[in-house]
Amino acid sequence: MSHSTTILQSIGHTPLIRLNNVVPPGHGQVMVKLESANPTGSMKDRMALSVIEQAETDGRLKPGWSVVEYTGGSTGTSLALVCATKGYGLNIVTSDAFSLEKRKHMKALGAELTVIASHGKGITKDLIQAMITSA
């Protein structure tokens, strides 16, 4: 087993698994990437790392700055991991209409949350617009 220097280096190095008995013998192989092996258990880790590193490269993100994003879940968790590891602040605009567990996970990874009330109406177009406006 190889070891990564940082948790970010483990992102994307997920195992390739062959699925047996999916196609008839002699018709090929079906292979899948086990994305749940990423640090937060989500394929969104790849996206979060890529977005942050591209922003660093482009000069849109510099030491001491913070990232602001509106999200309801796994994107926020992945961004929280990447930002915490790289030393950036992260402000997430979310809503009580999204999973409490995901909000707790983002917060546990260091994100600051602004929670927009859904007023019991669930996820609506107006709620998403309010989140975007607040971000």
pLDDT tens-digit readout, 8-61: 999 999 999 999 999 999 999 999 999 999 999 999 999 999 999 999 999 999
Which pTM does this prediction carry? 0.87
The domains of the chain, with CATH numbers, are: 42-134 (3.40.50.1100)
10 Å CB burial of residue 39 (0-12, 13-18, 19+) is middle
- DSSP structure string for 59-116: TSS-TT-EEEEE-SSHHHHHHHHHHHHHT-EEEEEEETTS-HHHHHHHHHTT-EEEEE
Q: Which residue among the candidates 33, 44, 102, 121 is catalytic per the annotation?
A: 44
Q: Could you tell me the pLDDT band of residue 72, with boundaries at 50, 70 and 90?
A: confident
* Residue 44 annotated as catalytic: yes
Report helix, strand or coil for 9: helix
Pairing of strands 66-70, 89-95: parallel
DSSP letter at 23 equals S
- Give pLDDT, residue 73: 85
pLDDT tens-digit readout, 78-124: 999 999 999 999 999 999 999 999 999 999 999 999 999 999 999 99
